[in-house]
Structure 1
Amino acid sequence: MARPLRFRHAPGRWTEDRVVGQIYRDLDRNLGATRRRPWFKQPDRYDGERFEMDNGDVALFLWNDDEAYWLGNTETPEALWRTEKYSFEAVPDDVSTWATRELTAQLHEESPWLEPYPHLSWFFLPVFLSKDGRETTREFFDDHAAGFPDATREEALEFYELFLRTRVLDEWREVMAGKLGTSEYLDHTRMTAAMGEFNVGHLLVEAGYDIEPEIEVSTGHAIDYRAGSGGDAVLVEVTRPTPTGDRRAGTPVAAVRDTASTKSEGQLEEHGGGVVLFVDCSSFPDDEWQSVLAEQPEVHHRPAVVFRLRPSGRVEGYTKGSVPLDLPI
């Protein structure tokens, strides 16, 4: 499975002959390629190339006498195999901005339903146009409402657009967007679990907390969030059970218990306490959620928050133990 889109940096002198010989001809020989002018003006200090492959792949290339930058969702030419990779945030701003404009325009041409959601388009761009995941990640939002049952595509997109527009996760864009995966096969369970972290992020931000994801702890694990307010901080871990129609568990209550047990008896047990477990039941349709809410089952860990979020922002749930967070549940 390929990773989200990243730049390759190739120091050294590049010329027209070298670009044609080592980049274009390599691509054309392996895939069939057309060399085109970029859709947008490249940064002044570079020459710019856009390579479009016969199979739908695309690659961008900036070059001058000192260096080159490559970004593509296709096979990497052999001349660039040993080059270092960098995120969008780690390359010069004008290089990143130009490439983002090029790829966002392509994304919106291919999937015009994403155009009304500019920050979501930007945030997930490294996976929406990744080598293997460019179809499945978009399909997850388009056909599956990003994991919300009984919701429209537009409702889900608007919800995540509004949350991402707060920019609280911009600094961690690559790792958070990458949680969706870049597989050519749609993994609905993995993708909904990834969006569970965004759901919890939304709840914490709405409650007035500053959040930081991917907190390294002494066990070698990464806890999903640190939520802070007024100098105090709480560690938060997220799990998301799948509805009974998608798993062997016979009832929604069993699904909640089983999923929470896996998390609490593994990573959280090794950590030894001090973490609030959030059990995101947002994948459950109304009837399944109502049975969970009525019984309020234990989840093998305290403190814990069990909740269901709708794209309207409505949230319901219950807590177990003394939760050191002020939440609307």
Structure 2
Amino acid sequence: MAGPIRFRRSSERWNAGRVHDALYQPLDAKFGATTADPWYRPPDGYEARRIAMDNGDLALFCWSDDDAYWLGNTETPKTLWRTNKCSFEEAPHGVARWGKRELLAQLEQEDPWLAEYDHLAWFFLPVFFSKDGRESTRAFFRDHAGGFPDADREAALSFYEELLSTGLLDDHRYTMASKLGTSDGVDLTRMQATMGEFNAAKLLADAGHDFEPEVELGSGHALDFQVDDILVEVTRPQPTNRRKIDSPIHAVKASGDAKTRDQIAIHGNAALFVDCSSFPDDDWRRILGERPDVGHEPAVVFRMRPDGTTEGYVKGTLHLDVAGELELPAR
């Protein structure tokens, strides 16, 4: 399974003839390809070409007297196999800006409904153009409203567009975006779990907390967030129609139990955030009515909706100020 799209940097000498012979010809022989000028002016001092494959793959290449950069979601030509990869943030600003503009324009041509959400499109660009995940990640937002049940696509996209427009997760873009997946199939459970981390990040930020995502610990585990000296792990239980469990109450408890037997078992002082945003209204009302324990304290059990509503409850003593962000219906 390929990872999110990244640049490859070559320090060798390039010219138009070598681009044709070493890059275009092997791709044309294998996939059928068309080479053309880029849609946008390349960075100062660089020449550039677009190579479009007949199977929908795309490659961009720019070169100067000093170096060259490849950006593609197709098979990497052999001459570039030993080159180093770098993210958009690690590439020179002009190169990264040019590559971003080319890909966003391609996205607008292929999926204009998605490209109109500027911040969301930019944030997930590395997976929207990954070799294996470009179809599945776009389908997740198109067909599954970003993981929200009983919500229309526009409302869900607007919700995450507003969240990402704050820049809250910009410094952790590759880490967070790549969790959505780079496989060619839609794994709805895993993708919803990923967006549960975005929901938890919003809840922490709304409460005024700074955090570090995907914290590597000495135990060999990685927990989802660290807020000062408090660790946070997120779980997202699934509705009962997708589990061999007979009620939403049991689904919430089972999800919490799975975490307490794994990461939380070793880091018992961590807070467990249980994102119930996958549950439809009726199931969520049952959970709120009973407010079940989840096998660990402190715990935050919450559900977000695309209109910005966040309901939930806290179990145990939580040294985070998220309770004030939760709407707690009267019992």
* TM-score, scaled relative to structure 1: 0.96
Match of 1:34 in 2: 34
Distance in 2 between the 1:127 and 1:256 partners? 30
Match of 1:264 in 2: 260
State which of 294, 301, 306 in structure 2 corresponds to 1:299. Answer: 294
Question: Secondary structure at 2:295's aligned position in 1?
Answer: coil
Distance in 2 between the 1:189 and 1:196 partners? 10
Match of 1:158 in 2: 158
Match of 1:280 in 2: 275
Question: Secondary structure at 1:299's aligned position in 2?
Answer: coil
Distance in 2 between the 1:96 and 1:317 partners? 41
Instruction: Give, in angstroms, the shift of residue 127 of structure 1.
Output: 0.6
Instruction: Give, in angstroms, the shift of residue 18 of structure 1.
Output: 1.4
Match of 2:170 in 1: 170
Match of 2:4 in 1: 4
Instruction: Give, in angstroms, the shift of residue 17 of structure 1.
Output: 2.1
Distance in 2 between the 1:18 and 1:42 partners? 18
Match of 1:235 in 2: 231
Match of 1:250 in 2: 246
Distance in 2 between the 1:211 and 1:312 partners? 24
**Aligned partner of 1:255: which letter?**
A
Distance in 2 between the 1:115 and 1:194 partners? 21
Mapping of 1:1-329 within 5 angstroms? 1-228=1-228, 233-271=229-267, 273-327=268-322, 328-329=325-326
- Given that residues 225 and 236 in structure 1 are in contact (C-alpha distance below 8 angstroms), is that contact kept between their aligned partners in structure 2? yes
**Aligned partner of 2:201: which letter?**
G
- Given that residues 12 and 65 in structure 1 are in contact (C-alpha distance below 8 angstroms), is that contact kept between their aligned partners in structure 2? no
Instruction: Give, in angstroms, the shift of residue 12 of structure 1.
Output: 1.3
Q: After superposition, give the CA deviation of every residue in 1:155-189 in whole Å (9 maximum; x if it has no partner).
A: 11111011111101101101100000011111001
Greater than 3 Å deviation, 4+ residue runs? none
- Given that residues 120 and 160 in structure 1 are in contact (C-alpha distance below 8 angstroms), is that contact kept between their aligned partners in structure 2? yes
Corresponding residue pairs, total: 324
Instruction: Give, in angstroms, the shift of residue 234 of structure 1.
Output: 2.3
**Aligned partner of 2:242: which letter?**
D
Instruction: Give, in angstroms, the shift of residue 295 of structure 1.
Output: 1.3
- Given that residues 141 and 153 in structure 1 are in contact (C-alpha distance below 8 angstroms), is that contact kept between their aligned partners in structure 2? yes
Distance in 2 between the 1:16 and 1:95 partners? 18
Distance in 2 between the 1:64 and 1:16 partners? 11
Distance in 1 between the 2:123 and 2:59 partners? 19
Match of 2:329 in 1: none
**Aligned partner of 1:252: which letter?**
P
**Aligned partner of 1:126: which letter?**
P
Instruction: Give, in angstroms, the shift of residue 133 of structure 1.
Output: 0.9
- Given that residues 108 and 116 in structure 2 are in contact (C-alpha distance below 8 angstroms), is that contact kept between their aligned partners in structure 1? no
Q: After superposition, give the CA deviation of every residue in 1:271-327 in whole Å (9 maximum; x if it has no partner).
A: 2x2211000000000011111111111111110001111111111111111011112
* TM-score, scaled relative to structure 2: 0.96
Give me the CA root mean square deviation.
1.0
Distance in 2 between the 1:72 and 1:12 partners? 18
Runs of at least 5 residues in structure 1 that lack an aligned partner in the other structure: none
**Aligned partner of 1:7: which letter?**
F
Q: After superposition, give the CA deviation of every residue in 1:22-81 in whole Å (9 maximum; x if it has no partner).
A: 111111111111110000000121110100001111100011232211000111111111
Question: Secondary structure at 2:139's aligned position in 1?
Answer: helix
Instruction: Give, in angstroms, the shift of residue 204 of structure 1.
Output: 0.9
Distance in 2 between the 1:226 and 1:104 partners? 32
Instruction: Give, in angstroms, the shift of residue 115 of structure 1.
Output: 3.0
